[in-house]
Structure 1
Amino acid sequence: MTQGEPPPRSTRSRPTMREVAALAGVAIKTVSRVVNGVPTVDPAIVARVREAADKLGYRPNLTASSLRRGDGRTATIGMLVEDAANPFSAALTRTVENVARQRGVLVLVGSLDEDPARERELARALIDRRVDGLVIVPAGRDQSYLISEQHSGTCMVFVDREAGLLDADAVVSDNRQGAVTAVNHLLTTGHRRIAYLGDRATIPTAAQRFDGYRHALEVAHIEYDDEIARHTGSSEEAAIAATEQLLALPNPPTALFTSQNLVTIGAVRALRALGRQHTVAHVGFDDFPLADILSPGITVLAQDVEQMGQTAAEMLFRRLDGDESSARTVTVPTRLIERGSGEIPAGGLGHD
């Protein structure tokens, strides 16, 4: 075999550092120094080693490298969200990825589908793969299963919902006050029969938003009516059916407050199908793509997802860097965005 010719090897095995060294005509130790970015290696040798690695399709074993390092870090973090396809989860994940990338850290993502058993399964799977830390949007109310891992040094931050039975950092939206703001906005345009559509009441964020809805009605001296409150889950189809049922009541609501983005989208579809989008006022909690180009545009209480993701990632990396201060919860305020649907007056037509 001559220099520059790839050495023979099994087609079923990955190329090794030894094979790269043989092809480049250097010692294995030199290849290791190039792979680990040691700056004192001659640039010509670096170029030769990289060319050989490219020819062979060699990729370093980062897990093995982490085991040889003194800190045992793998340069990976795990992220568990409700549903990676949901716009909120997608925006949250992308923001955490942006922060992690600046640190040379890879983010491994899983969807929980609001299933506490799946949360435990995926969290443990990520821990078994030795991720350096976890960012979790918890599905269950009990995260005590992570206590031993936390004591063993796994850093973790919870987003959107605080951990249950576990003392850990969290970043959340001001859900209750956001709901109060949404309902008050509808009250200012004369509405008194305001329906609520939201996710399952067992979900902490949904419960907080429902509590804000009821509180705003109570302050306005409007009696709560269970007939126009629906906990549909996060299904567009269920929200469509619930909206149709509400508007078919003998005394239907004149306005809707939808407290989750997919529920909001379902309500929008139902209102448009019924031709009621210009006569029934509507405010949704959490923004979603294209909400601003509909007619009317959808008024929302927008969460600052980017700020939530950035804050969570920064908190996690501070912990990884050695921060041992007490766990804390950061509350990120929401923002009312008026686009037309929430400004439709009671008993009148809205404007495009």
Structure 2
Amino acid sequence: MLKEKSSFSVTDTHADGIILLGKCPAELISTLQNHYHNIVGIDRNPTNFDYDEVICNGTTAAVTAMNYLISLGHKKIAYIGDCSYEARYIGYYQSLISHNLPLDYSNIYPTSQTREEGMKTMELILQREELPSAIFCANDSTALGVFDCLQRHRKKGYIPSVISIDNILESEQTKPMLTTIDIPKKEMAHHAVNLLLDRIHNQHSNAVRIELPCRLIVRESCSYCGR
């Protein structure tokens, strides 16, 4: 059975198991374990082996994105996304530190990572006197909102590089096409179902973690920084 954490109800107790999508609050885990013996998580943030999980490490994905921007000469890189000790945000600031770049909090924009918030956040960025040369979005939906704003409010001579994480179908349909980090969602779902079936049939007892790699997809939205 597949449930988003936000819509979970403990009344759904007739299923043999449950697959969790995304980060699960710590206080909810014990409740889930009281109702389900078979749990598998799919996420970018690994747990402390509280249950079986399939991950594609968000920190690694963010570092991959940041390393690419920095290799293009970008030093002033804005971040739009969840900043509540989330893996992608950790990768963002760790990359700055490892490349001896300053962590400028004015370049950090906490959001809930929707297209609408991406657009609103980019509107705020455009009001600044000193603009970042690149925008790192925590997910593709946010980046689509950034593009919406840039197309609506063109600022003379300002074309920031934009990179994100996910590689959803729409990322190939933007103008310019979005450079992103591919998260192998189909493969993650496949392994999660197999783990759950294996757990249901008592084929393993200890918590298992399967980690799949991310992959940089270079398209058109990033360019060399000349300043």
| Paired residues for 1:243-282 under 5 Å | 243-275=122-154, 279-282=159-162
Indicate the residue corresponding to 1:131 in structure 2: 15
TM-score of the pair, normalised by structure 1:
0.59
Q: Deviations over 1:109-165 (max 9, x none)?
A: xxx2xxxxx43xx2x1221xx111111124423301123334xxx311111156868
- When Rg is computed on C-alpha atoms for both structures, the one with the higher figure is 1
Indicate the residue corresponding to 1:140 in structure 2: 25
2:140 and 2:180 in contact (8 A); partners too: no
Indicate the residue corresponding to 1:305 in structure 2: 185
Helix, strand or coil for the counterpart of 1:285?
strand
Structure with the higher strand share, 1 or 2 = 2
Determine if the alignment matches structure 1 residue 327 to structure 2 residue 213: no
Q: 1:162 to 1:246 in 2, by over 3 A?
A: closer
Q: 1:261: how far off? A: 2.6
Q: 1:213: how far off? A: 0.5
Q: 1:175: how far off? A: 0.7
2:115 and 2:145 in contact (8 A); partners too: yes
Q: Deviations over 1:61-117 (max 9, x none)?
A: xxxxxxxxxxxxxxxxx21126xxxxxxxxxxxxxxxxxxxxxxxxxxxxx2xxxxx
1:302 and 1:336 in contact (8 A); partners too: yes
2:80 and 2:118 in contact (8 A); partners too: yes
Q: 1:166: how far off? A: 7.4
Structure 1 counterpart of 2:18, one-letter code: L
Helix, strand or coil for the counterpart of 2:172?
coil
* Aligned counterparts of 2:61 and 2:50: Cα–Cα separation in 1: 25
Determine if the alignment matches structure 1 residue 79 to structure 2 residue 2: yes
Helix, strand or coil for the counterpart of 2:164?
strand
* Aligned counterparts of 2:158 and 2:129: Cα–Cα separation in 1: 20
| Paired residues for 1:6-21 under 5 Å | none
* Aligned counterparts of 1:220 and 1:324: Cα–Cα separation in 2: 42
Determine if the alignment matches structure 1 residue 156 to structure 2 residue 39: yes
Q: 1:278 to 1:223 in 2, by over 3 A?
A: closer
Helix, strand or coil for the counterpart of 1:340?
coil
Q: Which runs of no fewer than 5 residues in structure 1 stay unpaired?
A: 1-77, 83-111, 113-117
Greater relative contact order structure (CA < 8 Å, 6+ sep): 2
1:256 and 1:280 in contact (8 A); partners too: yes
1:197 and 1:263 in contact (8 A); partners too: yes
Q: 1:333: how far off? A: 1.2
Structure with the higher helix share, 1 or 2 = 1
Q: Aligned-residue CA RMSD in angstroms?
A: 2.2
Helix, strand or coil for the counterpart of 2:129?
coil
Helix, strand or coil for the counterpart of 1:126?
coil
TM-score of the pair, normalised by structure 2:
0.90
Helix, strand or coil for the counterpart of 2:80?
strand
* Aligned counterparts of 2:113 and 2:75: Cα–Cα separation in 1: 26
Q: Deviations over 1:10-40 (max 9, x none)?
A: xxxxxxxxxxxxxxxxxxxxxxxxxxxxxxx
1:144 and 1:166 in contact (8 A); partners too: no
Determine if the alignment matches structure 1 residue 185 to structure 2 residue 76: no
Indicate the residue corresponding to 1:197 in structure 2: 80
Among all aligned residue pairs of Structure 1 and Structure 2, give the percentage whose two residues are the same amino acid: 24
Indicate the residue corresponding to 1:224 in structure 2: 103
* Aligned counterparts of 1:163 and 1:210: Cα–Cα separation in 2: 14
